Structure 1
Amino acid sequence: MITIANIIRETGLKRSIIFFIFAVAITIIATVITYIINPDIKEITEGIGNKLPDQVKESEGIKKVWSFVVNNGFRVPLQMFILALIPIQFLYLLNIISTVALPGILFGIALQVNSIKGLGIIIATIPHYAFEVFAFCLFASVLFELNQVVRVKIRNVFKADEVGTSLIKKVLETIKIYAILILPLIIMAAFSETYIADIIFGLFE
């Protein structure tokens, strides 16, 4: 029987928490560095804006939620999944690093411009940041095990006796956990980013 407890156990919760702490640390470091070096604010914000998908920038309401789900719920996990199939450890963390570094840069800029509103932006971001980044970290923990299987299969090519878990079985397990646990968390993050963030930020205006 499939239960949330079993799925969380399969993802390796401790490893997910370690990845999440790593991600938060990157965001904090990016915030501090950006605040200290005082970069060209206009150039940085334009550069970050150009990296956002057009449908995300132009959408509102439920359409914006769907745009976030498409980008963060399908495109990013697919990229992570593909990187996990490459027999090099931790490549799939590159998506998480880029995802958490950008908010840090924006936080640093926001604090430079207006410390009160900057703090409001940071607090308003916390709910969807927590859902989204932790979902990615859970997925990365699952991909850690998938990548292990891939590397074992590569090593088995040069061995007479094959050992290890079936790659197909592991891929199916990864897809199952993604569908039952990861995607719902990202959908929650999308709703939070679209609606709750504005409500929280409004308290600081």
Structure 2
Amino acid sequence: MIYLTLFFSFFRIGIFSFGGGLAMLPLIFQTVQQFGFMSAEEFSNLVALSQVTPGPVAVNAATFIGYNFAGVTGAVCATLGVALPSFLLIITVIKFLDRFNNNKGIEAAFSGIRPATVGLIAAAAVFVGESALINMENSILLNGSATGVCNELTWGYIKWVLEDLARGVEIIPCLVFVVTVILAAKFKMSPVKIIMIMAVVGIIFCS
């Protein structure tokens, strides 16, 4: 039963996700939360591992989750589930490719899909960022336990809010995040080099 659950869960992800592996991450995250496959922190580690290992992000993620939850057979079921829809759709599209060329309806559909894909990737960044950059347990406001706290707009209250939020921010991961953005966007450094450098930084400062 669990093997069918893994297969059909990832088959659904493969059908309804557009824009590549990163755009699939929000739906994958919702799936693992729904079935209790792994925690948010484990999912954050999964994203990092999927980026480091060769192959598409979605396939790597499906394999990891399937194996983590149901061993080798679970990994096979999840991987087949997420890859099969793309295979079938591409085969179908190739057969009718000439009919799709210059079709206004298809062009209009993709004009809506493209910005939606950007939004899905941004949502994935938010999901992963919450577990990688913020420690909810250290902040009263972030973990939702600030009941009965005075909310009058005074300097003392504002200072308390800022200090509380600062306690919830993981300094080293946030610095790693900022430096990574600079190295990738400004200096065009290879993602492989960045990951290797930041892995060493993590070993030195976070172990």
* TM norm. shorter chain > 0.5: no
Bigger helix fraction: 1
> TM-score if structure 1 supplies the norm length?
0.30
Greater RCO, 1 or 2 (C-alpha within 8 Å, sep 6+): 1
Choose 1 or 2 for highest CA Rg.
2
